[in-house]
Chain A
Amino acid sequence: MNIYVILKRTFDTEEKIAIENGKISEDGVEFIINPYDEYAVEEAIKLRDEHGGEVTVVTVGEEESDKQLRTALAMGADKAVLIDDEDVDYGDQYSTAKILAAYFEDKEVDIILGGNVAIDGASGQVGPRLAELLDMPHVTTITKLEVEGSTVKIERDVEGDLEIIETSLPVLVTAQQGLNEPRYPSLPGIMKAKKKPLEELELDDLDLDEDEVEGKTRTLEVFLPPEKQAGKVLEGEVDDQVKELVSLLRSEAKVI
């Protein structure tokens, strides 16, 4: 099988967010593979181990994304591709999908796996956008995947309910928590990863102009939510606290 994973490098979940010169500061920030994309990598490796073939991990981003690609290779992926997007001024999800589609144009693809959402940009657009550009069906937020021949059986999470879906290859799927438990890279895995191919591409290599991939949206401003006022921890007898809370929710907070 020709198995592909689209993967995004992102801030570690625990990072505090600071703004510098109107941008989210990356100073001293730890980066990780977007957690949902880790599920995608794990599932891709399992598919390959069951059906044979190759897992290729693809990312669009800065050069530093090679670390996350190496991690995916250390987990067990076979090849990695980094598409450098630094020449483009205004990028958004349209741009990312367009670049990925150009990469996939001449590839034989059986399945593409991604995350259902990136925990930073959090739009959830890239998967379905890419599927459309490749004229492939997509299934989002999957929690189970079985491939038999060209038939694909999927379970997906729909706001807590479970849908059982049948489709066929080629297909693009996006991972939800529950799909699997991603493995940690083993020491031999890390050693092997150093020798696995990591291809670096520029937009030119994909016959793309910067103008063609310019985003369809612009970010005007990023800002932090107002600092939360220190909350009021109530005091006294429990019965009085309860009375006070109810009255505060009604008169001060006006939410009841």
Chain B
Amino acid sequence: MAKKVLVLGEVRDGELRNVSYEAIATAKEISEGGEIVGVVCGESVNDIAGSMIHYGADRVLVVEDENLKTYTCDAYTQALMQVIDAESPEGIVFGHTALGKDLSPRLAAKLQSGLVSDITGIENTGGNLVYTRPIYSGKAFEKKIITDGVMFVTIRPNNISALEKDESRSGDVSKVDVTIKDLRTIVKEIVRKTTDGVDLSEAKVIVAGGRGVKSEDGFEPLKELADVLGAAVGASRGACDADYCDYSLQIGQTGKVVTPDLYIACGISGAIQHLAGMSNSKIIVAINKDPEANIFNVADYGIVGDLFDVVPKLTEEFKKVLV
């Protein structure tokens, strides 16, 4: 049955995040031919809203308000509720990002609705929309359906492909006025710790370093490899605890959960808490001098050796073939 589905377009550094395009593809599946309406919130976001159309949205609602410049649950809940009341959608898709995780349960609770969080797949089996999601840190998966209310879904980045960009698509981009008041939480300051460049949670390729990297400088060869591959740099907690890098790079049970196409683990032993954050990556490469290291048990390809020897050579080889 055709359904109207909203997609929250998430803005970061003046651009839409890639996961929002993946959310449109998900909405397409859920809508079964119905209308897909993008929603972009911010202070001045009109110019970037159109790209949602190029990726498959039929029209886009732009919600501009100074209170939406940085995310707070109150301001976004109020804005989205006004949009939902006006549009009466049957489904809403978010990225499973800091924002999506914070906002979607609140809205789902308001609307007494089911929410399936952090999905990695969606299929339509005989008119039933079935969502797949990892549980137990990716050691198992479950398939779920939503039985009541508006269908709320958050999607894990990098698992559902965005549709092909089509700049010839056109659609209505219109502004919506909302009233935002009585905010109970205020963001005083944002301290940026992540570096510019490729966003770790959405990266297609990640080069990660562990305690084997041995020092802050030891990350340099990894950064060079990452540059050549257009990759993000990540780390184990071992490396963060040792102060070789900032905790914002940590991957694992208590850090970020990532599923890139390619994960290159350098000098990481492969502790269960690290695997919890990366074992669902499509291809895993391990570089470790200990042939017994657990990381080799999850790696698709492994090189037993000194990372300070192997990584620079790998960078050179990629440079040769990627020109």
Contacts and interface: CB of A to CB of B under 8 A. Distances in A.
Interface stretch (B46-54, B57-65, B137-145, B214-222): B137-145
Contact of A166 (B130, B138, B188): B188
B303 A17 contact: no
A219 to B, nearest CB: 5
B140 A222 contact: yes
A253 B113 contact: no
A92 B149 CA distance: 14
B309 A159 contact: no
B244 interface: no
A187 interface: no
Contacts of B77: 132
A231 B296 contact: yes
B190 A162 contact: yes
A163 B192 CA distance: 9
A120 B136 contact: yes
Interface residues of B, number: 93
Nearest to B257: A122
Contact of B106 (A93, A132, A232, A245): A132
Contacts of A171: 184
Contact of A159 (B139, B194, B273): B194
B242 interface: no
A215 interface: yes
Contact of A164 (B118, B188, B253): B188
A161 B74 CA distance: 20
Interface stretch (A46-54, A66-74, A79-87, A234-242): A234-242
Interface in A97-135: 97, 119-133
B123 to A, nearest CB: 11
B260 to A, nearest CB: 9
Interface stretch (B31-39, B172-180, B313-321): B313-321
B147 A216 contact: yes
A216 B148 contact: yes
B193 interface: yes
B232 to A, nearest CB: 11
A243 B317 contact: yes
A74 B283 CA distance: 44
Q: Tell me which of B77, B112, B147 has the highest count of chain A C-beta atoms within 10 A of its own C-beta.
A: B147
Nearest to B139: A17
Nearest to B134: A122
A221 B229 CA distance: 38
A255 B102 contact: no
CB-CB nearest 7 A-B residue pairs: A160-B248, A216-B114, A177-B254, A132-B109, A128-B105, A125-B105, A123-B117
Interface of A: 11, 13-14, 16-17, 19, 24, 35, 92-94, 97, 119-133, 137-141, 158-168, 171, 176-178, 215-225, 228-229, 231-234, 238-239, 241-243, 245-246, 248-250, 253, 255-256
